[in-house]
Amino acid sequence: MATVNSTENVEALAAEIGENIYMDIAKWHLYLGAAKLHTPLAEKLLPMVNSGDISEDSVIKVLQNIPIKLGGGKKTLPLADLMPMQCHVNLIDLLEEFQRKL
């Protein structure tokens, strides 16, 4: 039963992330849902939400460890480098709000 609840929580968190958090590439906002990054990110962040250990440093560390390939794989940058600072703040706020709803 915990797996179902966990799966539902990942899907709910992924939906929130996909609709609200984006990468800024040449002033274009590529939302993580459109980039198919929302679910992998939610899977990495949900344990943090469940444990109550949501901090700026821990969220940034997760974002730093998600490589994004650019130019057909010619270059790779961490997701954190492609997101504006306001999206980092919005992501932390989103995680805290999601935790309150659990």
pLDDT category, 1, cuts 50, 70, 90? very low
- pTM here is 0.93
Give yes or no for residue 81 having a pLDDT over 60: yes
Total number of domains constituting the chain: 1
Q: Is the dihedral of CA 4, 54, 21, 98 positive or negative?
A: positive
Q: Measured between alpha carbons, how far is 83 from 8 in angstroms, rounded to an integer? A: 26
Domain extent at residue 9 = 2-101
pLDDT category, 5, cuts 50, 70, 90? low
**pLDDT, tens only, 15-59:** 999 999 999 999 999 999 999 999 999 999 999 999 999 999 999
